Structures are given as C-alpha cells and as structure tokens.
Amino acid sequence: MQVPQQPKSFPPDSIARIVLESCQEAAAAGEVPAAAVICDPENWSVLAAERNRILELRDPTAHAELLCIRAACAAAESERLPPDLVLVSALEPCLMCSGAVVHARLSRVIFFTPTLKGPGLERILEQSRDGALLNHYPETRQWEAFQSEYRSLLREFFRERRSS
C-alpha cells in the first residue's frame, strides 16, 4: 500500500470557474448542481468536464464525477487513467464515485465542500487505511476558497426546489 505524499498546489482559479459554471448549468437543467473536471497538472489542461445528468439520462449513476471519469477513460482509450491526473469536484465524491476514483487510479481529488450525506471519499480512505482495504489511495484536499460560493449555489437550488 502506497501512502500519499503531501497534497500539491491547487489548480488555477480558471479550473474552479469551469466547475462552478457547470454546476450552474446543472441547476438550470433541474439537476443537483454538481460538476467535475479531470485535469493534467503539468499544464492544467482539462481532459474531461461533466455535470450531474441523473434526470437527463434517467440514470442514478450519472453523477458528474462518474461521467467525467468515463469521458477521460474513453479519451485515454483505457480503463485506467494515466498517472498524476487530478479530479476537481464541487462536492466531495460520494460512496459510488469514490469507488470509481479508486478504480480509475486518480492520483488526486480536490473538492470545494465535503459531502454531508453518507460517507465521502475522505472518510472512506481514512477508515480503509487501517485494514488496507483498497489498492489505491488518492490524495484528497478541500479547496476552501470556493466553498462559500458553491454552498450558496447549493442552498439556493434546494430553497427553490422546496418552494416549487
């Protein structure tokens, strides 16, 4: 089992803007505002970008992170992603998406806000390190600079949804 090194620097703010704009697109489509991108940290080029499409695709697995991983794997023509790629997500990956992160071998996951529903990636990694349950442990880091803006978007989405 390989223990991750200290997290590296954050991507440029332009990457966060892509994620936030995709979250707004998801909300406008009636989807929970969640989005993700997969980047190459060499030059921060975006290899894949997705938003939640659960309603659109009528697929409960159509979370932004999962769709993003699928698109990046298709572009790489491989079931595993090249080393060192980074997933940037608005929301900490859920249990399902965490499994995909591990199996895709993403090296780092950066998210704006932790998940409040069920175990998220950090908790899963923390609990499984003791028993060496996983064969891959990506680095995780919260990008707090965008947490407030994203949480406001989430709050507004759910406020509107409840009032409808």
Catalytic residue among 65, 149, 156, 160: 65
Residue closest to 8 by CA, chosen among 40, 48, 31: 40
CA–CA separation, 38 and 136 (whole Å): 18
What does the radius of gyration of the chain's CA atoms come to, in whole angstroms? 15
Amino acid in the structure at residue 63: H
From first CA to last CA, the distance across the chain in angstroms is 49
Cα–Cα distances (Å) from 90 to 47, 87, 125, in that order, read 17, 10, 19
Asked if 77 is an active-site residue, the reply is no
Structure tokens at 72: 């990046």
Residues designated catalytic: 65
